[in-house]
Structure 1
Amino acid sequence: MPVIRIAAAEVHEMHGSRFTPLVRPAAGSAELCIWRLEISPATEGVAHKVLREEAFVLLDGALTLTIDGEAADLVPGDAAVAPAGSTIRLDNSADHPAVVMVTAPVGFSGELADGTRISPPWVN
């Protein structure tokens, strides 16, 4: 049985957040990616377009998720889905980190406002 140990996972940092990949092709997955996202306190996220569907479950803290201009405050246990092609932003205005479990299909990528395409290393 393949087990991915979070203690052994490579951590990536970007835009005031820490991405810890768990399930992804490098760990043996053919279809799914799951990563732990920790958003630092008082962080305004960077708006970006997701080119494949992406789902979020808030595990700890508080988070404002904006999808195509519509913002929603999430509390632990809340979940949300960003459709493919939508523009999203995750903000943490609290004074402690927000911890989110995120999933997307293999091949997931995004696009910044300036058109820069990102294929995040935590989904490869």
Structure 2
Amino acid sequence: MPVVRSVDAQVHEIHNARFTSMIRPGTGSAELCVWQTEIAPDSVGVAHRILGEEAFVLLTGEVTITIDGESAPLTPGDAAVAPANSMIAIANTTPAPAVLLVTVGVGFAAELPDGSTFTPPWAS
């Protein structure tokens, strides 16, 4: 039975956020990727187009998620789903970090503002 211990999870930092990879092909998953994202206080994430569906559950803190130009605040326990090919951005304008649980399908990628495609290492 594949178990990923928190002390063994890979951590990646980019754009004022920390991504802790939990479930992905590299840890034994065939179809799903799950990670935690910690968003630094007073930061706005880079808007990008996701090339697969992405689901979010806010665990702690507060964020505003924007999906295709429509923004909504999230508080702990709230969830959001962004459809494939949507533009998304997440902002944490509070003085405390925010933590989300995120899941996507294997093969997930995003298109960055410069048009390049990015496959996150925490999802591969």
Q: TM-score by structure 1 length? A: 0.99
> In the alignment, which residue of structure 2 is the partner of 1:123?
123
Letter in 2 for 1:116: S
> In the alignment, which residue of structure 2 is the partner of 1:72?
72
> In the alignment, which residue of structure 1 is the partner of 2:28?
28
> In the alignment, which residue of structure 1 is the partner of 2:6?
6
Q: Secondary structure at the match of 1:89?
A: strand
Instruction: Structure 2: give runs of 5+ residues left out of the alignment.
Output: none
Q: How does 1:1-124 map to 2 (within 5 A)?
A: 1-124=1-124
Instruction: Structure 1: give runs of 5+ residues left out of the alignment.
Output: none
Q: Alpha-carbon deviations, 1:62-106, whole Å to 9, x = none?
A: 000000000000000000000000000000001010000000000
Cα RMSD after superposing both structures: 0.5
- How many percent identity over aligned positions? 58
Q: Secondary structure at the match of 2:103?
A: strand
Q: Secondary structure at the match of 1:7?
A: helix
- Tell me the distance in 1 between the aligned counterparts of 2:34 and 2:10: 13
Matched residues, number? 124
Q: Which runs of structure 1 show a deviation greater than 3 angstroms over 4 or more consecutive aligned residues?
A: none
Letter in 2 for 1:20: T
Q: Secondary structure at the match of 2:26?
A: helix
- Tell me the distance in 2 between the aligned counterparts of 1:75 and 1:15: 22
